[in-house]
Amino acid sequence: MIKCHICGNQDAKLAYSLKLCKIYRCQKCNALFTDQDSLRHKQGKDMYSAEYFTETHPNFFKESSADYQKHLGKSKKLQAFLRELKILKRHKPKGKLLDIGCATGVFLDMAQKEGFDAYGVELSDYASKYAEEKFKLNVFNGKLEDSKFKKKMFDVITMWDFIEHVPDPVGILKKARELLKDDGIIVIQTTNDDSFMCKAADAIYKITGGLISKPSELVHPIHHITHFSRKTLLNMIKNVGLKPVHIETSEIPLDNVEGSSVLKAAVAVVYAIAWALNSPFEIKVIAKKYHHNLNK
């Protein structure tokens, strides 16, 4: 039996049989998740070695280096971080900020320059060491649940493209809620399985009986364990005692998409259709604690 990562139900059906993994859909809560036992790839901390940043996703992380400031004028990813900080400061002008899955520390360095007391959590030995050495950041190298942060320590907690990578997203959110001050905010950004791109890949997979699976592999990479829809993400957030106060969608900047120029051209077309249908590939939620749950 395959256990759902969100609700724990063991009634799941195979949704995709891909080259490197199998993906199941929970029949109770409709969550889509990768069966880790089916992964034909190293897992855990070993998945996030230096090669993950420099070879597997070189485009996604190409501006995530110590000289990132020289890319600010052209990088849509870095400009998005700056916009996010402005939004965060409307809610919390200052205070302690924790970035979970902080990678090489670029967002944290920006937050620190904006006046936040910045902390990070990063599983990758390579990335956490980089953040500490290049940016002099306070980064815990390991899993959030093993950290020694005090309860109600943080004013802001961010998770940029992180929650989809963990085998127990509910447990992570519960732990993050414990670390959040009563009037704090949590920001979660992840991929959106309701997006036009994912639905198009799903249609191709089903129409061809799984013979054409490459689109589904691209939108469900092996490093992602849970593949959230808007509904499953919001239900999970609410079930751990958090209240969504802002929701928006976005796309990964085209410059940060991995692949050939032909693939990027195709992605650009998909992006245009997705925006027209109000169905982009990423979703961001800002949430606060439910007041009636504050003492739980």
**Above 90 in pLDDT, residue 210?**
yes
Strands 138-141 and 154-160: unpaired
- pLDDT number for residue 60: 83
**Above 50 in pLDDT, residue 162?**
yes
Can you give the chain as a three-state secondary structure string?
Answer: CCCCCCCCCCCEEEEEECCCCEEEEECCCCCEEEEHHHCCCCCHHHHHCHHHHHHHCCCCCCCCCCCHHHHCCCCHHHHHHHHHHHHHHHHCCCCEEEEECCCCCHHHHHHHHCCCEEEEEECCHHHHHHHHHHHCCEEEECCHHHCCCCCCCEEEEEEECCHHHCCCHHHHHHHHHHHEEEEEEEEEEEECCCCHHHHHHHHHHHHCCCCCCHHHHHHCCCCCCEECCHHHHHHHHHHCCEEEEEEEEECCCHHHCCCCHHHHHHHHHHHHHHHHCCCCCEEEEEEEECHHHCCC
CA pair distance 215, 263, nearest whole angstrom = 11
pLDDT category at 294 given cuts 50, 70, 90 is very low
- pLDDT number for residue 295: 44
- pLDDT number for residue 291: 67
**Above 50 in pLDDT, residue 296?**
no
Of these ranges, 5-14, 35-44, 287-296, the one predicted with the greatest mean pLDDT is: 5-14
What does the chain come to in residues? 296
Domains and CATH numbers, the chain: 43-192+228-293 (3.40.50.150)
CB atoms within 10 A of CB 225: 22
- pLDDT number for residue 30: 94
- pLDDT number for residue 293: 45
**Above 90 in pLDDT, residue 5?**
no
Read off the pLDDT of residues 74-126 as tens digits, 9 standing for 90 and up.
999 999 999 999 999 999 999 999 999 999 999 999 999 999 999 999 999 99
Region 50-60 average pLDDT: 84
* Exposed e or buried b per residue across 180-219, where buried means at least 16 C-beta atoms within 10 angstroms of its C-beta: bbeebbbbbbbbbbbbbbbebbbebbeeeeeeebebbbbb
Read off the pLDDT of residues 127-141 as tens digits, 9 standing for 90 and up.
999 999 999 999 999
Structure tokens at 142: 């390991």
Read off the pLDDT of residues 229-276 as tens digits, 9 standing for 90 and up.
999 999 999 999 999 999 999 999 998 898 889 989 999 999 999 999
pLDDT category at 41 given cuts 50, 70, 90 is low
- pLDDT number for residue 39: 82
Residue with the larger pLDDT of the pair 87 and 45? 87
Q: What percent of the chain has pLDDT over 90?
A: 79
**Above 90 in pLDDT, residue 157?**
yes
